[in-house]
Amino acid sequence: MKMTDSDFAFWMGDVQARMEAALARLLPAASLVPARLHEAMRYAVLEGGKRVRPMLCFAAGELTGAAQGRLEIAAAAVELVHAYSLVHDDLPCMDDDVLRRGKRTVHVEYDEATALLVGDALHSLAFQLLAEHRLAEDAALQLEMVRTLAQAAGSRGMAGGQQIDLAATGKQLSVAELEFMHIHKTGSLIGAAVKLGALCGGECPRELERFAHRIGLAFQVVDDVLDAEASTATLGKTAGKDSKQGKPTYVSAMSLADARALAEELRGEAQAALQGLGARARRLGELADFIVLRKF
Amino acid sequence: MKMTDSDFAFWMGDVQARMEAALARLLPAASLVPARLHEAMRYAVLEGGKRVRPMLCFAAGELTGAAQGRLEIAAAAVELVHAYSLVHDDLPCMDDDVLRRGKRTVHVEYDEATALLVGDALHSLAFQLLAEHRLAEDAALQLEMVRTLAQAAGSRGMAGGQQIDLAATGKQLSVAELEFMHIHKTGSLIGAAVKLGALCGGECPRELERFAHRIGLAFQVVDDVLDAEASTATLGKTAGKDSKQGKPTYVSAMSLADARALAEELRGEAQAALQGLGARARRLGELADFIVLRKF
């Protein structure tokens, strides 16, 4: 059964609204001591972002029949890790950015020390959520979620990807080297979002690993294409910034047209990975389309 | 049975050596990509520190008959969280320190961006360790370890304590306010070390919570006393720094003599908390003495 675009748009809006409510509920209240930290944590996470990782988590959970309540927690944990990485990434010693999701970055709105602690506290909170709510029938499966997220965030995943990114600034990388960087920097957390969503309903089918790998790369390729094309107003973050900072991008490593073609190829491979999974993989397929065809 | 001091010294040396070996084994090899990050992670953690938290973890494990192999993992997780907090705390936007454990701080030896990522990656690795090794018969108990460490590290624990510390700089706090700050900043992780150690052997006796609370505070009071008394060479970190930076300390809130008396009082209360726990609590009692009577 092929659904209409408006059905998918409705689903996306529903997941985004659910996530906003879940995150608002799961983050410590701004009135709790230390209030400045909690206020800044909420500022960093709420009212921002497309929530792509939560959407992947929910779509993967649909495949395994996971309960929505569990998916909210798992998706929140992944989104908190993503949010922490953005806060740290925006700091002066990293990308030194002043605009994120259309708002002033945390260290500009508050101060650098608070931004550092906001990132650290969001990072801890992600694991606290995975441990203090019941997300699986079997506690061992839930430990597997903790392991998956920790590994994806760590030195062999996202943080490692950031380090590779630092070292790559000012250099021209090959497409293979770019791919290696982004598999760590973006791909690992996207893979964790998919896996955690599936685990909320039981086992994670093997095919999802290949799907997540392709979609993680496609996400970054499209980001580079949009960054090269778009204006700051549309993106909600400083546009054309990566290439200005001398960061290698798919657009600089190939051409704009080739990068667009690569994104399309990866979308095809992601869809192919879903072939054997039946009708319940529909949302994942729609999301793959959305991620590659988005204009922002 | 009262043991001699030399027996305790031998035990301490044994735990320290075990921990050095365990941490060296559990940290990613410096040859793994990204090598600079892994090298810096090892620099931040290895060959440094008294390993007070691991010792508390081992001593609590002795109380519940925990296996040494499990204690090594749990203690490593706590120590990695401690090490990450030191790396971030030393950054220019926080305490801006150049010396730690007798070595140049990570951002001085490497650079700020790497130090930021080192902290982040150690933080993730701590949770990865707690999830990927078998630390309890029951996976639910192991999830409780994850929850305990995450909560102790987060905005209502250590990171929150750092934020309170930031806000307190340049202010005179009351003893009650100082206590509130340190219960978060130092006490929560010390409490987690004790609890995780005990959980490796089964249940955590309630008395340990009171013990950990008193010992966590005593640790900080003694730190302030030593900081006021000692030279940089003895401490292995910049001495007299807290008071110079306008940070409130127990010595500034009371007097040196009163701070010493408070440490002694807390030691007595910690020992009293162990009363009902029998002979297997011996190491915890010896550690309480060591923490209060140490000269460095």
pLDDT at A4: 60
CATH of domain B5-293: 1.10.600.10
Which site among B93, B141, B144, B184 would you substitute to test the A interface, given the most A Cβ atoms closer than 10 Å to its Cβ? B93
Contact with chain B for residue A133, Cβ under 8 A: no
In tens, the pLDDT along A54-91 reads: 999 999 999 999 999 999 999 999 999 999 999 999 99
CA distances from B54 to A14, A238, B74, B88, B194 (A): 46, 45, 8, 20, 9
For residues B188 and B269, the answer to whether their CB atoms sit within 8 Å is: no
Cα–Cα nearest to A80, from B198, B170, B123 = B123
For residues B289 and B71, the answer to whether their CB atoms sit within 8 Å is: no
Cα–Cα nearest to B55, from B109, B8, B105, B92 = B8
- Report the alpha-carbon distance of residue B274 to residue A286 in Å, rounded: 60
Distant-in-sequence, close-in-space partners of A274: CB < 8 Å, separation ≥ 6: A207, A211, A281, A284, A285, A288
- Report the alpha-carbon distance of residue A109 to residue A71 in Å, rounded: 31
- Report the alpha-carbon distance of residue B55 to residue A87 in Å, rounded: 34
The amino acid at A185? K
pLDDT at A233: 57
Distant-in-sequence, close-in-space partners of B97: CB < 8 Å, separation ≥ 6: B89, B90, B105, B237, B238, B241
Residues of chain A neighbouring B142 (CB-CB closer than 8 A): 139, 143
Identify the band that residue A234 occupies on the pLDDT scale cut at 50, 70 and 90: low
- Report the alpha-carbon distance of residue B30 to residue B254 in Å, rounded: 46
- Report the alpha-carbon distance of residue B272 to residue B232 in Å, rounded: 34
For residues B154 and B197, the answer to whether their CB atoms sit within 8 Å is: no
Q: Select from A37, A85, A94 the Cβ nearest to the Cβ of B155.
A: A37
3-class DSSP state for residue B4?
coil
pLDDT at B18: 97
Strand B99-100 and strand A103-104: the pairing is: unpaired
The amino acid at A40? A
Q: How many CB atoms lie within 10 A of CB A235?
A: 19
- Report the alpha-carbon distance of residue A55 to residue A82 in Å, rounded: 13
* Residue A227 reports pLDDT greater than 50: yes
Contact with chain B for residue A13, Cβ under 8 A: no
In tens, the pLDDT along A202-213 reads: 999 999 999 999
Identify the band that residue A231 occupies on the pLDDT scale cut at 50, 70 and 90: low
In tens, the pLDDT along A1-28 reads: 455 668 999 999 999 999 999 999 999 9
Q: What are A100's strand-pairing partners?
A: A103
Half-sphere CA count of A168, side-chain side, radius 13 A: 25
pLDDT at A1: 44
CA distances from A115 to A79, A89, A211, B154 (A): 17, 10, 34, 14
Element (H, E) at A103: strand A103-104
- Report the alpha-carbon distance of residue B95 to residue B241 in Å, rounded: 10
pLDDT at B1: 44
For residues A235 and A226, the answer to whether their CB atoms sit within 8 Å is: yes
Interchain CB distance below 8 Å, B160 and A120: no
Q: Is A27 left (phi over 0), alpha (psi -120 to 50) or beta?
A: beta
Q: What length is written for chain B? A: 296
ipTM > 0.85 for the complex: yes
- Report the alpha-carbon distance of residue A45 to residue B66 in Å, rounded: 40
Stretch 156-195 of chain B: residues touching chain A, C-beta under 8 Å: 156-157, 159-160, 162-164, 166-167
pTM, full prediction: 0.95
Residues of chain A neighbouring B76 (CB-CB closer than 8 A): none
3-class DSSP state for residue B227?
helix
Residues of chain B scoring pLDDT < 70:
1-5, 231-244
In tens, the pLDDT along A89-138 reads: 999 999 999 999 889 999 999 999 999 999 999 999 999 999 999 999 89
Q: Select from B36, B93, B142 the Cβ nearest to the Cβ of A113.
A: B93
Q: State how far residue B74 is from chain A, nearest Cα, in angstroms.
A: 14
Q: Select from B120, B151, B159 the Cβ nearest to the Cβ of A88.
A: B120
- A107-110: long-range pairs with CB below 8 Å, 24+: A109/A40, A109/A43, A110/A36, A110/A40, A110/A43
